[in-house]
Amino acid sequence: MLAWILAVGAALCLVYYIIIVIYAGLGTSFAAVWLLLGGLMGAASFGLRYYQKNPSRIELWIPVSLITLCASGMMILLLMQILIFSRIPSTAEPELDYVIVLGAGVKPDGISKTLRLRLDKAAEYAKENPDTMFVLSGGKGDGEPEPEAVSMQRYLINRGVKPARLLLEQQSLSTLENLVYSRNLIQNQIGAEGIEHLRIGVLTSNFHLFRARMIARKQDFDDIRGIAAESDKVLFVHFCLRDSLAILKDRLMGNL
């Protein structure tokens, strides 16, 4: 039974990889992980079925170790998903002093869908909370025509947000840098001592919010609020897996 479950899992990983490539392109970040997972599940299924047919040819510890490794990996990923989704706020806290909007990919033909969804949420929040200032955080990554913050500013102005409410942070190339440089930008505007008395939020995609807030707390944002934007429904599972692995990486690197 377990061998068939692993075989089905391998097939689903392969199908989802094909869907990602067709929907978002071959260069989609981290898409190859689904091929890797599918290959591992397929190999585990084949190995388990071979052992069941030829138990005398393989030491028992080999299939036991393989199954234990697969089960441990699945449990870790499941735990990551529980952490991610249990910390998504159902509503955004109103009247924050500053909201840091985290950037995402900018392509030669325009902003990515992920970034558009974040900016739509920011525009909605700006309309409902006219006194909130926004820090648009994102530098110019490889292959991007301009800093993400510049594209974000243009989009929000077109959505009716006043330019005076938008601060641009154009250096960062990672979530950690987003938050460090945004904090510096706020401090430069109001002074280092005043930041402790501000109510600050971070706005990003729902799957990314848990990691962003954990990194923020590590960077002395003691009580940072979270604002969750919707994410691409087709790529949602992919983004969740990618962020789960990123959480593990950041934990090992001391960023969380």
Q: Helix, strand, or coil here: 54?
A: coil
pLDDT of 125 reads: 96
Residue 17 contacts residue 232 (beta carbons within 8 Å): no
Query: In this predicted model, what pLDDT tens digit does every residue of 190-201 receive, in sequence order?
Result: 765 667 778 899
Q: Virtual CA dihedral for 228, 231, 235, 241, nearest 10 degrees? A: 0
Residue 121, pLDDT above cutoff 90? yes
The C-alpha atoms of residue 139 and residue 146 are separated, in whole angstroms, by 8
User: Would you place residue 7 in the very low, low, confident or very high pLDDT band (cuts 50, 70, 90)?
Assistant: confident
Q: What is the mean pLDDT of residues 216-225?
A: 83
What does the pLDDT read at residue 115? 94
- Degrees, nearest 5: CA angle 125-195-203: 30
pLDDT at 117 over 80: yes
pLDDT of res. 192: 59
- C-alpha span between 10 and 13 (Å, rounded): 5
pLDDT of residue 193: 61
Residue 126: per-residue pLDDT: 96
Q: Show the tokens assigned to 154.
A: 């243009």
Which tokens is 68 given?
A: 């234990």
- Split at pLDDT 50, 70, 90, the class of 245 is confident
CATH number of the domain located at residue range(s) 98-253 in this protein: 3.40.50.620
More confident residue, 239 or 44: 239
Distance CA 150, CA 136 (A): 8
User: What ranges do the domains of the chain cover?
Assistant: 2-86, 98-253
- Is 136's pLDDT higher than 90? yes
Structure tokens at 160: 């009716």
pLDDT (tens digit per residue) in 151-189: 999 999 999 999 999 999 999 999 999 999 999 898 888
